[in-house]
């Protein structure tokens, strides 16, 4: 009678589903902590080549890590002394004037000034003013929501201190962690597969992070210099912001361009066409000259998949999700490619790495 209502296989399936749900719930609940550790890993990948280069001359990895961090601190302090006051001044000015600039959109005053500058007819100006006045509440709500979204990373500003500290542990013990992962394999075939996954992910993340840093630096310098030469207001704050948005593939540069154009328009900048020309020219140089040479084939995923990953990541975890979505998809691609090529010696249908696991044996047992 008991066996009629109790099926062992069904119970194991239900238990497995419940366990997976609990794991996913834990990951979702600890997503901020996991994101912090992930950024620490990415930062460790960024400075690891310099640490490895100095390890032999300084006779130790710990000494090389200390030297690299002293160099980074000195570099940041030097940059802060040179352009820090200018950035702080423009940042305060932009933060104080942005509410009034947004209010000028809803009132139609900005359209009147732009129309006078570009010689628009009074009828056209009146139509634009009436449209903006009718949608004043929607414009203010959109502006508020965008501001709140952009302000979310500022709530974790203290991560700038924790990320380098946590990266010290990954720089020091990263190779031991990789060796421990490889040691989990039970057969030579599994060892080859796991070692290949670790090696491919290591190469992909290292080359991707370093390439992205170079591209972001190019964008920050180009935007700061170009906007300054065109006398665009707040160029020293808009240039670094554009460089930060360059970290988000495909979507980030578009958001940066629209934001800079909107701020220039709100500030009554008279030469908006030159800004559009500058944006178009820089994207051609960045996408067809710098990016192919710097990025190379570090990701090996199509731009469409990158766009989907960024949009899905932003829906799940906001700005942070958009930043980490593309390397996460690339890592999953490497995992899938290696697992699909894996052919265990005992049973091709069931990898022995799972057969050796007690939990896997419990699930797969008939």
> Does residue 135 fall inside a structural domain?
no
> Does residue 87 fall inside a structural domain?
no
pLDDT at 349 over 50: no
Q: Which domain holds residue 275?
A: 188-366
The candidate with the shortest Cα–Cα distance to 175, out of 51, 344, 27, is: 51
Q: Apex CA 238: angle with CA 233 and CA 242, to 5°? A: 150
The whole-number pLDDT of residue 226 equals 92
The whole-number pLDDT of residue 365 equals 44
Query: Please, what sign has the CA dihedral across residues 180, 186, 189, 190?
Result: negative
The candidate with the shortest Cα–Cα distance to 320, out of 94, 87, 155, is: 155
Instruction: Find the distance separating the first CA and the last CA of the chain, reported in whole Å.
Output: 21
The whole-number pLDDT of residue 351 equals 47
The whole-number pLDDT of residue 350 equals 47
For residue range 256-286, list pLDDT tens digits in order: 888 888 888 777 788 888 999 999 999 898 8
> Does residue 57 fall inside a structural domain?
no
> Does residue 347 fall inside a structural domain?
yes
Q: How many domains does the chain have?
A: 1
> Does residue 254 fall inside a structural domain?
yes
The candidate with the shortest Cα–Cα distance to 245, out of 310, 157, 161, 175, is: 310
The whole-number pLDDT of residue 364 equals 44
pLDDT at 154 over 60: no
> Does residue 312 fall inside a structural domain?
yes
For residue range 97-131, list pLDDT tens digits in order: 766 666 666 556 666 666 666 666 677 767 776 76
Element (H, E) at 85: helix 61-107
For residue range 175-214, list pLDDT tens digits in order: 788 888 788 777 787 788 888 888 888 888 888 888 888 8
> Does residue 95 fall inside a structural domain?
no
For residue range 310-329, list pLDDT tens digits in order: 778 777 766 667 777 888 88
- Indicate the pTM of the whole model: 0.67
The whole-number pLDDT of residue 3 equals 52
pLDDT at 165 over 70: yes
pLDDT band at 143 (very low <50, low <70, confident <90, very high): low
> Does residue 105 fall inside a structural domain?
no
Three-class secondary structure of residue 342 per DSSP: coil
């Amino acid at each position: 009678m008991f066996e009629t209502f109790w099926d062992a296989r069904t119970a194991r399936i239900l238990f497995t589903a419940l366990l997976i749900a609990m794991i996913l719930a834990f990951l979702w609940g600890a997503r901020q902590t996991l994101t912090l550790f992930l950024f620490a890993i990415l930062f460790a990948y960024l400075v690891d080549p310099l640490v490895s280069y100095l390890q032999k001359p300084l006779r130790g990895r710990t000494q090389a890590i200390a030297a690299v961090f002293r160099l980074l601190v000195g570099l940041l302090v030097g940059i802060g002394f040179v352009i820090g006051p200018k950035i702080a001044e423009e940042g305060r000015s932009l933060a104080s004037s942005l509410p009034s600039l947004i209010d000028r959109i809803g009132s139609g005053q900005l359209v009147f000034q732009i129309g006078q500058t570009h010689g628009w007819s009074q009828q056209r100006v009146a139509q634009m003013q009436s449209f903006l006045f009718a949608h004043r509440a929607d414009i203010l709500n959109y502006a508020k929501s965008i501001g709140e979204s952009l302000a979310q990373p500022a709530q974790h500003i203290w991560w700038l201190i924790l990320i380098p500290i946590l990266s010290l542990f990954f720089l020091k013990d990263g190779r031991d962690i990789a060796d421990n992962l490889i040691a989990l394999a039970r057969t030579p075939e599994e060892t080859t597969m796991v070692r290949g996954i670790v090696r491919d992910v290591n190469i992909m993340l290292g080359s991707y992070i370093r390439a992205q840093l170079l591209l972001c630096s190019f964008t920050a310098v180009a935007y700061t210099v170009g906007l300054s030469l065109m006398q665009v207001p707040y160029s020293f704050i808009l240039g670094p912001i554009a460089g930060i948005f360059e970290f988000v593939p495909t979507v980030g540069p578009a958001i940066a361009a629209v934001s800079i154009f909107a701020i220039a328009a709100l500030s009554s900048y008279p030469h908006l066409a030159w800004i559009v020309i500058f944006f178009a020219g820089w994207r051609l140089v960045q996408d067809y000259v710098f990016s192919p040479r710097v990025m190379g084939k570090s990701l090996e995923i199509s731009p469409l998949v990158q766009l989907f990953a960024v949009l899905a990541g932003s829906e799940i975890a906001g700005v942070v999700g958009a930043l980490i979505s593309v390397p996460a998809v690339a890592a999953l691609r490497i995992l899938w490619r290696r697992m699909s090529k894996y052919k265990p010696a005992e049973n091709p249908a069931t990898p022995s790495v799972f057969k050796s696991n007690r939990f896997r044996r419990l699930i797969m047992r008939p």
